[in-house]
Amino acid sequence: MVHLKYFRGLLISDHYAPSLSWNEEFKAYIAPAYRYYQVLEYFRQGGIEVKDEVMDPIPFPLVKDSLKLRDYQERAMKAWMAKKRGVLVLPTGAGKTALGIKAIANLRVATLVVVPTIELLHQWGDRIRESLGVEPGIVGGGEENIQGITVITYDSAYTKVEKLGNRFPLVIFDEVHHLPSTGYINIGELMASPYRMGLTATPEREDGRHVLLREVVGPILIRLSPSQLAGKYLAEFKVEKIYVELTPEEREIYEKLRNRFTSFLRKRKIRMAGPRDFQRFIFMAGRDKEAREALLAWNESLRLAVNSESKLIKLREILKERANEKIIIFTRDVDMAYRVSREFLVPAVTYLTSKDERQDILSKFKNGDYKVIVASNVFDEGVDVPDASVGIVLGGYGTSRQMMQRLGRILRKKEGKVATLIEIVTKGTTDHNLSRRRSSATK
DNA sequence: TTGACTCAACATCCTTTGCTACAA
DNA sequence: TTGTAGGTTTCCATGTTGAGTCA
């Protein structure tokens, strides 16, 4: 007979199985706790009797199950129920939370829901109360109350995972693309939970670490894009790109800055073939004065291209044409957001905006007191932004994730609505490259 | 309870102009 | 001849958030 135990994020076995390794200190075979279901499966298939003391689940409350799923949600749920592990990829606004709630109602085991922000902590709490009729535990944002269904932030989960790792047979990772980062991955690895669900609109990460999700959460089971749901469940939408030029003065400065960057690369025979090369260049800038100057020049050239003068002229035209529509303007940096705010007399929301003021601006935008607002990168995730019909992208990252989130802000379904996402791009600059890289999101 | 603060963690960051060694 | 892989580490700056501390 084999004896399996859990100890502070570790699976401990007195017999060998693949993925376990001998540990002298414990005088036993050990592995990170997420290997539990594989190891158990291995012993069971071998017909070996197991004394399983790994899980110590919190009692599960009595819940109601009143939730009705849409047809594509049913498909996603069916795919997940077949394995009870894996990632579901659905666009913003397509009802990912409902899938998590349904999984809890189906499995009826203690569940930990991990979320990136306090706002999502409360949104999930409300949905659980509403759909399952129970009071959820909340950990994070100053609260610490653990129940059979508990919502927790990634930050809190990271510090408490060793203690909580064997108390929840089901774990749901909302915005699961956060999980593979170097710290948070511990949450996935040190939990023993055999049942796992990951929810996101965009699993891919710039650092490539999303490949870890397959091992820690499971494979991608379903993937739906905004265009697949447009019309019936999300608003019809179109994406427009408008190209502008740098002014001659801007062009002169831009070329000078670019030249400082490229001539450094040429001189040092540095090849920029991918993100790793750029990363190395950044490390180099930490020690090498010339490299540092080259990098600063590159940063400055990017800022110039993304925030070009012509974009503001074009913005003025668009705002005039669409005077009666609800519009969100997106910028890449805080300075540009406040510049737009000053020149067009519209409220700005950035990370510097206080919580109360942000709340106030968003509620006035919702009820129509404000027709136009400008935001930096703050609406990228986990913020409940009132619906708009037009999004104007003045600047952003080169990631499809950000583009997808921004698109999601205008896709709420309304009768007869056609949403428009307008991107203003500076031709012949890095801004154009960024735009090309992110545009796969809207296909 | 709140607000102001600090700190830590996470994310972005590339596409040119082609070095050398080795495998197919 | 052609194609492709090769090569660490501790981070230029800016943006964003959660947690913790203290008044």
The predicted-structure confidence for A301-313, as pLDDT tens digits, reads as follows 999 999 999 999 9
pLDDT band at residue A441 under the 50/70/90 scheme: low
Fold of A1-51: MutS, DNA mismatch repair protein, domain I (3.40.1170)
Fold of A69-227: Rossmann fold (3.40.50)
Residues 6 or more apart whose CB falls under 8 angstroms from that of A53 comprise: A3, A4, A5, A6
> Which numeric CATH code is attached to A235-243+307-438?
3.40.50.300
Alpha-helical (H) ranges within A191-288 are 212-216, 226-229, 248-267, 275-287
Measuring alpha carbon to C1', the residue closest to nucleotide B19 is A269
Please give the share of chain A, as a percent, with pLDDT higher than 70: 99
Which range has the top average pLDDT, A54-63, A73-82, A219-228, A232-241?
A73-82
What token pair was written down for A178?
């956060």
Q: How far is the CA of A299 from the C1' of C14 (A)?
A: 10
**Closest alpha carbon to A301 in A354, A263, A330:** A263
CA A379 distance to own-chain centroid: 11
State mean pLDDT over A23-33: 93
For the cut 90, the answer to whether the pLDDT of residue A55 exceeds it is: yes
- For residues A169 and A225, the model is more confident at A169
Burial label for A84, CB within 10 Å (0-12, 13-18, 19+), is middle
State mean pLDDT over A148-162: 93
Q: Is the CB of A374 under 7 A from strand C?
A: no
pLDDT score recorded for residue A85:
96
pLDDT score recorded for residue A428:
86
For the cut 80, the answer to whether the pLDDT of residue A440 exceeds it is: no
State mean pLDDT over A229-235: 87
Which positions of chain C lie under 7 Å from any protein Cβ? Answer: 6-20
Report angle CA A119, A122, A123 to the nearest 5 degrees.
Answer: 85
| 8 A C-beta contact, residue A334 and residue A350 | yes
Q: How far is the CA of A268 from the C1' of C8 (A)?
A: 17
Q: How far is the CA of A302 from the C1' of B10 (A)?
A: 22
Average pLDDT, chain A: 90
Q: Is the CB of A92 under 7 A from strand C?
A: no
Q: Give yes or no on whether A1-51 and A69-227 have one common fold.
A: no
pLDDT score recorded for residue A324:
87
Q: What 3-state DSSP class applies to A226?
A: helix
- Residue spans of the domains in chain A: they are 1-51, 69-227, 235-243+307-438, 247-304
State mean pLDDT over A349-358: 89
**Distance of alpha carbon A419 from alpha carbon A240, whole angstroms:** 11
Q: How far is the CA of A28 from the C1' of B2 (A)?
A: 51
State mean pLDDT over A359-370: 90
What token pair was written down for A250?
């801007």
**Interhelix angle for A96-107 vs A118-132, to 10°?**
50
Give the length of chain A: 443
pLDDT score recorded for residue A56:
95
